[in-house]
């Protein structure tokens, strides 16, 4: 796999690049970040948030929280940081993403990083998971419909393809292996919402190799993102999937978790955020573009059965909470309060296991779902997966 995704779809990707020349038309300087309106759905940044998320494709409801990191090191003195110049270099490769989410048609805001002139865009999986319509807006107000090429739920990454895009300016990717504590950084993202220019947040790298754990609200079971860059830049929820850049405008990370909205020990809001290092993220993006599925990478549309589930008691399975009307599961006669114990004879010990199994399937697959009712009696039904929301 090549090291870097700054090329058209299917072309070799070069390695980390020098910063591009300034754009011809000056772009707006970054502006202070307004507080996001209460009506906007706050999607979890990097599997870390105080939001209930509906995973429609296998469908369980979870609330994500971040582990509390240690105090950051003191800021070291450094050369002057021309924030406006860095913003102007980063801005052409930033996509503002608005995803219409599943059942209620609610719109969530996020950000993406342009990887190729023909519209390959990297973002967080949680930005588009459960979405039925995705739109991306680039500098100059150009707007595109987007489809999800694939995603890696375990690493919270997804790759989009913008329909009809041509001649876009890809972001300049740096080498995240060269990042050091106290390095100055600029985060750029779509925290304002639909139609607004991305805003920015300035800070320093306060830690490397950090881990963030997301906890299921029902069972306390955790899922962890590892190897993250920690920063004291005031990253807000809409920055999710956007670039964390160095002073030269090179992307060193994918913003994926922020202090805003976390449930810490005493409800504090530390100004700390987290980003996936760009070098491994670019490798995963290249794998998705190449159409290579793996244990964590899913290519193409998601398999949709139309359940919402919670963990069963004591690791006994995935308990059905509700069904989507007219969904494959509803048509097959599944009901609330039944326990899913296996899919195609693969044991299901939890809601997370069911999601992982569904991630390996596609629309049209036949799924033998084994259910247990009161008293433990079991029965199996065959469900043909439909085409459902992304991620």
Point out the catalytic residue in the list 240, 302, 342, 350. Answer: 240
Report the C-alpha gap between 219 and 271 in whole angstroms.
28
pLDDT at 60: 30
Q: Are 253 and 244 in contact (CB under 8 A)?
A: yes
Q: Where are the domains of the chain?
A: 52-289, 301-387
Q: What is the pTM of this model?
A: 0.75
The residue-averaged pLDDT of 30-45 equals 36
> Residue 367: pLDDT above 60?
yes
> Residue 20: pLDDT above 60?
no
Find all residues with CB under 8 Å of 90, minimum gap 6, and list them: 171, 186, 188, 243, 245, 249, 251
Fold of 52-289: Thrombin, subunit H (2.40.10)
How high is the mean pLDDT of the chain? 77
Compute the half-sphere exposure of residue 355: CA atoms within 13 Å on the CB side of its CA.
23
Q: What does the pLDDT look like over 104-137, one tens digit per residue?
A: 677 888 999 999 999 999 999 988 888 888 999 9
Fold of 301-387: Pdz3 Domain (2.30.42)
pLDDT at 283: 97
Point out the catalytic residue in the list 126, 155, 298, 361. Answer: 126
pLDDT above 70 as % of the chain: 70
The residue-averaged pLDDT of 16-24 equals 46
Q: Highest-confidence range of 29-33, 133-137, 325-329, 387-391, by mean pLDDT?
A: 133-137
Q: Choose between 90 and 386: higher pLDDT.
A: 90
pLDDT at 242: 96
> Residue 86: pLDDT above 70?
yes
Point out the catalytic residue in the list 118, 152, 156, 246. Answer: 156
The residue-averaged pLDDT of 161-165 equals 96
361 is catalytic: no
> Residue 9: pLDDT above 50?
no
Q: Choose between 219 and 387: higher pLDDT.
A: 387
Q: Are 300 and 317 in contact (CB under 8 A)?
A: no
Report the C-alpha gap between 128 and 87 in whole angstroms.
25
240 is catalytic: yes
155 is catalytic: no
């Amino acid at each position: 796999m090549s090291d870097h995704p700054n090329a058209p779809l299917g072309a070799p990707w070069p390695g980390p690049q020098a910063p591009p020349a300034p754009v011809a038309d000056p772009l707006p300087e970054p502006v202070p970040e307004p507080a996001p309106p209460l009506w906007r759905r706050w999607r979890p940044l990097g599997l870390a948030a105080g939001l209930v998320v509906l995973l429609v494709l296998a469908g369980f409801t979870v609330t994500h929280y971040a582990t509390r990191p240690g105090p950051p090191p003191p800021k070291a003195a450094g050369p002057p940081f021309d924030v406006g110049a860095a913003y102007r270099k980063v801005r052409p490769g930033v996509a503002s993403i608005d995803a219409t989410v599943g059942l209620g048609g609610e719109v969530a805001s996020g950000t993406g990083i342009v990887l190729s002139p023909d519209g390959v865009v990297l973002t967080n999986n949680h930005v588009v998971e459960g979405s039925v319509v995705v739109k991306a807006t680039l500098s100059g107000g150009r707007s595109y419909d987007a489809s999800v090429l694939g995603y890696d739920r375990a690493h919270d990454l997804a790759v989009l393809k913008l329909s009809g895009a041509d001649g876009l300016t890809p972001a300049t990717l740096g080498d995240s292996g060269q990042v050091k504590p106290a390095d100055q950084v600029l985060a750029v993202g779509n925290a304002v919402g639909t139609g607004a220019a991305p805003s920015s947040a300035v800070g320093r790298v306060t830690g490397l190799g950090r881990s963030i754990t997301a906890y299921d609200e029902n069972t306390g079971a955790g899922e962890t993102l590892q190897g993250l860059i920690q920063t004291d830049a005031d990253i807000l929820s809409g920055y999710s999937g956007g670039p964390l850049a160095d002073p030269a405008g090179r992307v060193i990370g994918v913003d994926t978790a922020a202090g805003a909205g976390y449930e810490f020990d005493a409800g504090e809001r530390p100004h700390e955020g987290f980003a996936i290092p760009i070098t491994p993220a670019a490798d995963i993006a290249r794998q998705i573009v190449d159409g290579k599925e793996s244990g964590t990478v899913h290519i193409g549309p998601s398999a949709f059965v139309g359940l919402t589930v919670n963990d069963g008691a004591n690791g006994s399975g995935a308990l059905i909470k509700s069904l989507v009307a007219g969904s494959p599961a509803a048509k097959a006669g599944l009901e609330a309060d039944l326990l899913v114990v296996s899919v195609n004879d693969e044991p299901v010990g939890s809601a997370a296991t069911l999601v992982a199994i569904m991630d390996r399937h596609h629309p049209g697959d036949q799924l033998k779902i084994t259910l247990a009712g009161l008293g433990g009696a079991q029965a199996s039904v065959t469900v043909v997966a439909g085409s459902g929301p992304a991620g």
